[in-house]
Structure 1
Amino acid sequence: MPILLFLFIFLVFWAYFGYPLSLYLLSYLRRRNVAKAPITPPVTFIITAFNEEKRIREKLENTVALDYPADLLQVVVASDGSTDRTNDIVREYQGRGVVLLEVKDRGGKENAQKEAVAIARGDILVFSDTATIIEPDSLYRITANFADSTIGCVSSVDRVVGRDGKPCGEGAYVRYEMWLRDLEGRVNSLVGLSGSFFAARKEVCRDFSPNMQSDFRTLLNSMRLGLRGVGDTEVIGLYQDVADSSREFDRKVRTVLRGITVFFKNLEFLNPFRYGLFAYQFCCHKLLRWLVPFFLTAALLINAFLAPFSPPYLFLFLLQCIFYLLAVAGWKRPSLARSLAVKLPLYFATVNLAIAVAWVRYLRGNRLVMWTPSER
């Protein structure tokens, strides 16, 4: 049992720290730079929306202000069965180069993206959520990566701020993810893209599926075609923390559930003889991370059994209990979550609880297609 305890603790450590450390050390032996160059390929900018009347105008103003040749830019808003004023607001921008694609029967985000891809004229497709605000020169910056013929897709860097303008618990976690992505791209390829803002070659997006996570699948399609995905630290997607934490929990569950679905439909990427280093990345960043809730539960239960027999085990058990009690305190009293000592345990516990719920739903046969954007 002591061996099992430290094995589970080690696996949690490896999922969050050991894996990044291994990439960091590997970066001294292997570095894959991106041969950027200023290019202006035809671009289709795709925005998916469902009942976004409160935010769509701000997003469209941000989009039409992008600095890119008008004759090379097609803007498509794929409205996924919206029933509010979203479509009417988008029509106001048709004279400014915005195309409204009305998907009459709501079929989910990926289905709307698939419909948009079908009418896209650009060689490079850029996908963005309504809640994400980007900088005016973002298209020049993101397309520069495609001057490198090995690049299949490019992810932005996410930046999350609270309503007070300060980094939130999610923001700290997102910064960790962005740091990890930077390491992955430095040595080989990303394992996932920022679904709120990413770009890909059109040929990578030809087989979008309505029931499979588009950002994850786009990356895997790139690898399958012998290309890779990278993140660009000069391409920023800025969005606010969510207004309703309960809905944000549902979003996390949905995201992981869709990711697990894509993972198990693409187990070929675990083959190191075919995909080399990416197979290791695929296993550590996705599968190992999604197993952390089970490792944490097993470690706590085993530690509880060992605690009465040894002071070191008792001390370790108390540390775990304090960590989870801080998370519960932050959940019960949101005012306490302003402190980083409470904020991080709360977010870590919430993420892993969401992963556990996603596993339960997946094992019950749930394959979520519909999505409702989180209010920010």
Structure 2
Amino acid sequence: MELFHYIFFYISLFIIFWGMIGYSLSIKVLGRLYKYRKTSKDYNYEPSVTIMVVAHNEEKVIYEKLNNIVRLVYPKDKIKFIVASDNSTDKTNEIVENFILENPDENIKLYRVKKRMGKTNAQNEAQKLVNTDYLVMTDANSMLDYNSVKELMASFTSEDICYVTGRLAIVNEKEGSVSKSESSYWSKDLRIREIESKIQTITAGNGAIYACRNSEYYDFEPLKSHDSNMPRYYALKGKKAICNHDAIAYEKAGEVINDEFKRKVRMNRRILKNILPDIRILNIFKYKWYSYFYFGHRTCRYLLWISHILLFMSNAFLIVDTWFYLFTFVGQVLFYFLAVLKAVSKVDNKYLNIIYYYCVTIIAQWVGVYNMLTGKVKPFWDKAESTR
């Protein structure tokens, strides 16, 4: 039995270390090895584009969003707009209709989704109306930089590039401990994606701003988000999903922990299936760097929830062996104590904030697992009001 304690301890320790520290360090090394590889752009490439905005009860931001997208720098005869209203029951549809009447020179359509089944379903339905070469997706509360579409299109420099994601810039990163922690995590993740993109392909995108070839669009089931599934879908087809961080979307991060917790629970609604969603990912001979990227950037992170509990429990049985196991156990207890201290005291300390935010992320994974096992997963969610 003691052998199993050792096995669980060291496997769990490795997953946590590799997922949160080791992988990012290895990516930095790879970035230096591939530092001369550049991502090309062609600003003369200006294909036809449709900007799609999915909205459910977004009356607070939809007017600003519409004003934002019609001012994008792109040839007017090559850009169209469609708002996929996911069974909105507030004034969203009315605001969009009035905007269309007030701006007759803009090619804007409103598509009403009759039954609310979430963002992915709304995208699937509205995409059937798209006849342009490319489709750009963006959220209702994300404001696009005026050159963002031009940047996204410039990145489609070869036929094997099917997906390009931009950079989400958090505009309220200094407003509170929650937004500070999210901004810190996101900045680190963006640096990893840049290197993955330069070497081969990214493992996930971002819902605030991304583009895909309309001919390569795939109808994912409503529970699957484009953020995680599109890049993987293209990678397994031998195609590429890359990032262009000069294509920017601006958005507020959640300023209260409840909003951020709900968002992370939503992100983990398919966590068990995303650990290893397709056995083909393990074929490193065929998928090369993508297999390595997915294991470090996705699989290990999706296993954090179980790794932490197994590490703690196995460590508890091993503390009598040597001082090393006593030290690691005390370290874990102290780590969780500091998270509780932050939750109770509300002290604004950089390191306490990071520890607390990390523990909230792990708890959100556990809730995601619970929802999956109990059949409580929904394809839609309540938006975070603090991000509006």
TM-score over 0.5 for the pair: yes
The TM-score, its normalising length taken from structure 1, stands at 0.91
Instruction: Tell whether the 8 Å contact from 2:274 to 2:299 is kept in structure 1 after alignment.
Output: no
Give the 5 Å matches for 1:246-261: 246-258=258-270, 260-261=272-273
- Aligned with 1:350 (options 331, 355, 360): 360
Instruction: Tell whether the 8 Å contact from 1:155 to 1:193 is kept in structure 2 after alignment.
Output: yes
Instruction: Tell whether the 8 Å contact from 1:74 to 1:121 is kept in structure 2 after alignment.
Output: no
Instruction: Tell whether the 8 Å contact from 1:36 to 1:148 is kept in structure 2 after alignment.
Output: no
Cα 1:341–1:90, aligned 2, differ >3 Å: closer, same or farther?
A: same
Equivalent residue number for residue 36 of structure 1: 41
Amino acid in the other structure paired with 1:286: R
- Aligned with 1:294 (options 293, 298, 306): 306
Query: Is 1:148 paired with 2:158?
Result: yes
Amino acid in the other structure paired with 1:368: K
Structure 2: how far apart are the matches of 1:9 and 1:264?
19
Structure 1: how far apart are the matches of 2:306 and 2:197?
29
Tell me the SS of whatever aligns to 1:257. Answer: coil
The TM-score, its normalising length taken from structure 2, stands at 0.89
Cα 1:373–1:118, aligned 2, differ >3 Å: closer, same or farther?
A: same
Residue deviations 1:152-197 (CA, integer Å, cap 9, x gap):
1111122224375576111111112111111211221100001221
Please state how far the C-alpha of 1:93 moved relative to its aligned partner.
2.0
Equivalent residue number for residue 122 of structure 2: 112
- Which structure 2 segments of 5+ residues have no match? none
Cα 1:138–1:346, aligned 2, differ >3 Å: closer, same or farther?
A: same
Please state how far the C-alpha of 1:78 moved relative to its aligned partner.
0.4
Structure 2: how far apart are the matches of 1:323 and 1:259?
24
Query: Is 1:281 paired with 2:285?
Result: no
Equivalent residue number for residue 23 of structure 1: 27
Structure 1: how far apart are the matches of 2:206 and 2:24?
18
Residue deviations 1:247-295 (CA, integer Å, cap 9, x gap):
3312211211235446665333333343232122223322221111211
Instruction: Tell whether the 8 Å contact from 1:126 to 1:197 is kept in structure 2 after alignment.
Output: yes
Instruction: Tell whether the 8 Å contact from 1:213 to 1:258 is kept in structure 2 after alignment.
Output: no
Tell me the SS of whatever aligns to 1:120. Answer: coil
Query: Is 1:318 paired with 2:339?
Result: no
Equivalent residue number for residue 205 of structure 2: 193
Q: Which runs of 4+ in 1 moved over 6 A?
A: none
Amino acid in the other structure paired with 1:133: M
- Aligned with 2:97 (options 71, 91, 98): 91
Instruction: Tell whether the 8 Å contact from 2:136 to 2:209 is kept in structure 1 after alignment.
Output: yes
Instruction: Tell whether the 8 Å contact from 2:271 to 2:365 is kept in structure 1 after alignment.
Output: no
Query: Is 1:76 paired with 2:64?
Result: no
Give the 5 Å matches for 1:134-283: 134-162=144-172, 165=175, 168-258=180-270, 260-261=272-273, 266-283=278-295
Cα 1:306–1:266, aligned 2, differ >3 Å: closer, same or farther?
A: closer
Bigger shift: residues 320-329 or 50-59: 320-329
Please state how far the C-alpha of 1:339 moved relative to its aligned partner.
1.4
Amino acid in the other structure paired with 2:340: V
Cα 1:201–1:131, aligned 2, differ >3 Å: closer, same or farther?
A: same
Cα 1:287–1:262, aligned 2, differ >3 Å: closer, same or farther?
A: closer
Give the 5 Å matches for 1:32-71: 33-38=38-43, 39-71=45-77
Structure 2: how far apart are the matches of 1:341 and 1:220?
34
Structure 1: how far apart are the matches of 2:61 and 2:239?
35
Q: What percent identity do the matched residue pairs reach?
A: 30
Structure 1: how far apart are the matches of 2:40 and 2:267?
32
Please state how far the C-alpha of 1:245 moved relative to its aligned partner.
2.5
Structure 2: how far apart are the matches of 1:108 and 1:115?
11
RMSD, aligned CA: 2.2
Structure 1: how far apart are the matches of 2:335 and 2:274?
32
Tell me the SS of whatever aligns to 1:10. Answer: helix
Instruction: Tell whether the 8 Å contact from 1:133 to 1:239 is kept in structure 2 after alignment.
Output: yes
Aligned length: 374
